[in-house]
Each structure stands twice: as C-alpha cells, then as structure tokens.
Structure 1
Amino acid sequence: MKTTIFSTHKFEEPYLVKANNGKHQLKLLESRLTEETAILATGSKTVSLFTGDDASAIVLEKLKAFGIKNIALRSAGFNNVDLTKAAELGIKVARVPAYSPYAIAEHTLALILALNRKLIKAHNRVREQNFSLNGLTGFDLNGKTVGVIGTGKIGAVLIKILHGLGCNILVQDVVENNDLIDNYGVNYTNCETICKQSDIISLHVPLTTTTKHLIDKEHIALMKPGVMLINTSRGGLVDTRAVIEGLKSRKIGYFGMDVYEEEEGLFFEDHSDDILQDDVIARLMTFNNVFITSHQAFLTETALTNIAETTIYNLDCFENGKVSGNEVS
C-alpha cells in the first residue's frame, strides 16, 4: 500500500524501514503536513502523521480529495486530528496507543532529579573548573508528596518509581486504579487538593477540551510556594503565560517541560541559525529553574521500535480491511 509519511525524522527512519521490511511503498518526507503540503500525499492511500502534523478539517478535506482513506498516527495522542471531520469524510484513523510508558516516566524522573539537584548548573560549573557547591542545594525526594495527574500506563509506571523512592503519592483520574491503591498506597483526590498539598506535580493526561489549560492561574494560586511542576504529556495542559507569572512570583520553584503548547514548527527542528520568534519560550529560557527538552521523553530504542512496528501493523490492517484495535473514533 502506498503510504506518505510526513514529518519523518532521521532518528525514526531506520526503525520504520526495518519494521516495514519492504511490505508497503513508503514515501518518507521531512515536511510537516499542512494545508500547503497535503498535495504531497497524492497517489497514496494512507498518510502517517507525527505530533506536529496538522490534520484539521480543511487539511483532511484536501487529503480526501487526493485519495487518502487512512491516517496512521505515530503517536498515542490524537489532538492534532479533527476526528469528527475524519469520520464525516470516511477517513479511518489509527494510533500507537502504547509504545513505552517506561520511556516517558523515566524521562519525567530525569527532569525531577535534574531540576532538584541542579545538575545542569553543576555540570557547567565543573567544565569551567568551578567546583563550588554554593547554590546547588537540593532536597530529598523521600517523604515528599508528589501529585500525579493521570494514572494511565505512563502515570502508573511513574507511581511505581516514586513509591520506590519513598514518596507520598496523591493522584487524580476519572477512573480509579485499584491496583495502584493496593500496591503503592496512592490516594485518589481532586486536582485542587493535589495543587494544595503536593511538593511536586506531574501531568500525564491527554489533551482534550476539558483538560486544556488544566494548570492555569487559579490552580497555580493554590499550589505550595516553591512547587515543582513537570509536564511530559501535552503542552496545552499548561497555560504557559500563567506559569511564567508563577515563576516570577516564586510560587513555582521549578518547571520541567518536554512539551510546549506552541511547539509546532519549533520542536524537532534545528533553529540554531535562526532568530527565535517565540517570545514565550524565549522568556522561559531565561529562568535558571526551568528545564526544557524538546519532546524527547519518548526517545528510546524500545519506544522507536514499538512505534514503527505498530505503525506498520496498522498499515497492514488498513490494507487487509482488518480491525487493529488501535482505531480512534
């Protein structure tokens, strides 16, 4: 089956080629899917999209006109796809529901530890032959209260890790996981209580109309002074401007982000020779208690292998008219 793969990155290309093993005709493009680039899918039956690709209504209409019948997402999230329009046009959508919850959870811990123990500052000092420890004091994670918002596969793995570190864990989700309660002693509560009582808050829910800007000015006002906020889920969960105000007032003592609300066209690309146009992220980069990674939490060999294999499996199912179990409706 002819498939146009948009936003192909060098780090994923060999995994896709290996998983495909010559079965499908893959057209690998570095270009993001936009209204202007949709024409590049002409001749294909399926397109494969990454998180930064635009599958809004107007783009889907163009894809349909070019003969596209299927979309194979190379991500778990699907907030970049207008599912209502896709259904109206008869375009099937499948995702990669779980590629490696361990990758995301472990990266979350990496952000927590790097911020807490000021590892970037310490590393830079040593490279300058400055071995002073002044200003590098952190805190023990043991005994701290961590709020985990979202107890799906990723949140559950993080909870297991945090429990091993001796943290007290508050959680919030629309569905309670009794195994987490029995095995790790988590306490289900609401977002407001988590904001009031947690020393660290980590976000692991999908981006929907109800979770957009879940962390806003009002919730930040409830938080403990000096709270650590971590987002490795979706950028839109956080009102970034409100976070900046929280950082300026020192209400937020640390902010770790692997995702950004306006990351489209910014993350996954080399802008080292460009003038940064995004004033919001430019402001975030001025804080020494902010740690930014560019949507790399998923980036492990295991995750890339699973993403590629599931994507090709979804293509197989599209071609053979089978249900993959990964359909999004």
Structure 2
Amino acid sequence: MKVVAYSIKPFEKEFLSRANQKKHDITLISNPLSIDTVVFATGKDAVVVFSTDEVTAQIIEYLANAGVKFIATRSVSTNHIDVPATGKFGIKVANVPVHLSGDVAEQTAEALQAIADQTIINLDMWQQNKCVGDACACAKRCRTSVSGKH
C-alpha cells in the first residue's frame, strides 16, 4: 500500500519503521496535513495523520479525488477528522485505541511502539479488505449512512 504519513516527529520514525517492516511504501513527512500539503497524498492509497491535523471536508474531498481510500490517525480521537465527509466520499477511517496520558514526546518506547504497531495493523487490514474492531472509527459512525445498518 502506498502511504503518506503527516506530522511525523523525529522520534516516531524508528517505531513506524520497525512496525512496518517494509510492507508498505510509506513516505514520512514532518509537515501537518493541510490544504497546502494535501498534494503529497496524490497517488497514495492511504494517509496517516495525527490529532493536530485538521482533516476537513475540503481536504477529504481532495484526498478522495487524489485516490486516497483510507485515513489512519495515530490518536484515539477522530474529532479532528470530518468523519461524515469521509463516509460521503467512501474513505475509511481508523484510529489507535491506545490511551496515553501526558505529552506524546514523553511517552515510553513501549507506548510509542504500540501506536506505530496499531497504525501498521490498520494498513495491513485495509490491504486485506478488512477492518480492525475498535480501530474502525468509521464503522461505528458511518455504518448507518453507508449501509443502512447499525
């Protein structure tokens, strides 16, 4: 899967690399996802974001037109993503159901590896046309609008 990961901190690179094990073609950039940087997603299957990236309906429309099918956030919350817009454009969303306290930069290596591992698991599952239980944010919120079921 071709992926661009936004808002990557220097200390995250090793954890994501270890979790990925060269399975996915991931471009890591430190810039946040914005209307100015969304162009980096062109030709990608997925984007990886963080809670500081505001994934608006305008950005989601651009992502969909660029061919992006998946948004994985490296956070528990999906409040920074316009989830109804992802449903409208058929983009699946997954989060990392790992609760951390305090500043992410001060987290233990174990917690940071857990976040990276879950992010890659989400990509792996999508590549297999599956989703990951509690990590499928859109499955919880978009099911009614997408399939008519609860």
Deviations 1:217-242 (A, max 9, x none): xxxxxxxxxxxxxxxxxxxxxxxxxx
1:299: how far off? 2.0
Residue identity in the other structure for 2:42: T
Report the 3-state secondary structure (helix = DSSP H, G, I; strand = E; otherwise coil) of the residue aligned with 1:11: helix
Question: Paired residue for 2:43?
Answer: 43
TM-score, length of structure 2 as denominator length: 0.87
Q: Which ranges of 4 or more aligned residues in structure 1 deviate by more than 6 Å? A: none
1:203-242 correspondence to structure 2 within 5 Å: none
1:323: how far off? 2.1
Residue identity in the other structure for 2:69: K
1:10: how far off? 0.4
Q: Does 1:53 align with 2:66?
A: no
Question: Paired residue for 1:319?
Answer: 127
Question: Paired residue for 1:158?
Answer: none
> Measured at CA, do residues 302 and 83 of structure 1 come closer, stay the same or move farther in structure 2, by a change above 3 Å?
same
1:298: how far off? 6.4
Deviations 1:112-147 (A, max 9, x none): xxxxxxxxxxxxxxxxxxxxxxxxxxxxxxxxxxxx
Residue identity in the other structure for 1:31: N
Which whole-Å CA distance do the structure 1 matches of 2:21 and 2:136 have between them?
23
Deviations 1:224-264 (A, max 9, x none): xxxxxxxxxxxxxxxxxxxxxxxxxxxxxxxxxxxxxxxxx
1:1-329 correspondence to structure 2 within 5 Å: 1-98=1-98, 101=99, 103-104=100-101, 107=102, 295-296=103-104, 299-325=107-133, 326-329=135-138
1:36: how far off? 1.4
Which whole-Å CA distance do the structure 2 matches of 1:24 and 1:76 have between them?
22
1:296: how far off? 3.4
Which whole-Å CA distance do the structure 1 matches of 2:51 and 2:130 have between them?
25
Which whole-Å CA distance do the structure 2 matches of 1:72 and 1:14 have between them?
18
Which whole-Å CA distance do the structure 2 matches of 1:319 and 1:76 have between them?
21
Note the residue ranges of structure 2 that are not aligned, 5 or more in a row: 139-150
1:51: how far off? 1.2
1:297: how far off? 7.2
1:314: how far off? 0.2
1:303: how far off? 1.2
Residue identity in the other structure for 1:303: A
Report the 3-state secondary structure (helix = DSSP H, G, I; strand = E; otherwise coil) of the residue aligned with 1:48: strand
Task: Judging by fraction of residues, say which structure has more helix.
Answer: 2
Which whole-Å CA distance do the structure 2 matches of 1:14 and 1:303 have between them?
13
1:307: how far off? 0.3
Which whole-Å CA distance do the structure 2 matches of 1:8 and 1:296 have between them?
12
Report the 3-state secondary structure (helix = DSSP H, G, I; strand = E; otherwise coil) of the residue aligned with 1:31: coil
Residue identity in the other structure for 2:82: D
Report the 3-state secondary structure (helix = DSSP H, G, I; strand = E; otherwise coil) of the residue aligned with 1:15: helix
1:46: how far off? 0.2
> Measured at CA, do residues 18 and 67 of structure 1 come closer, stay the same or move farther in structure 2, by a change above 3 Å?
same
Which whole-Å CA distance do the structure 2 matches of 1:327 and 1:48 have between them?
14
Report the 3-state secondary structure (helix = DSSP H, G, I; strand = E; otherwise coil) of the residue aligned with 1:97: coil
1:43: how far off? 1.4
1:12: how far off? 0.6
Two-structure CA RMSD over aligned residues (Å): 1.4
